[in-house]
Amino acid sequence: MAIKLEIKGWKTALAGILSIVWGLGGWATGVHDFNEAMNYLISGFGILGVGHKLDKLREESETTTGENEVDTSSIEDTTCRCCCKCCKK
């Protein structure tokens, strides 16, 4: 199962991924203990989660622009089309 990252802010994705790698790699090599490694892992996943949510908000705002525009195609034309000047003001 491939993970597809759609974060437009590549720096956010990079920070999250590097935090996860540093947590796992540091724990495996003995640079830091288990608690510190878990702190880096949780922080990395949190950064990726926030970046993903910001992406979704950006997509929603791009799709809802123009939501307040009125569709005039269904409005019936009620203007008088007679040739006399009685209706024209």
For 49-76, letters b (16+ CB in 10 Å) and e give eebbeebeeeeeeeeeeeeeeeeeeeee
Which whole-number Å values give the CA distances from 42 to 59, 61, 67, 89, in the listed order?
26, 29, 38, 72
**pLDDT for the residue 83:** 67
Specify the pTM. 0.59
Query: What distances in angstroms separate CA 86 from CA 33, 46, 79, one per listed residue?
Result: 91, 71, 12
Round to whole Å and give the CA distance between 49 and 34: 22
The pLDDT, as a whole number, for residue 55 is: 77
Return the pLDDT at 51. Answer: 84
pLDDT tens per residue across span 41-54: 999 999 999 888 88
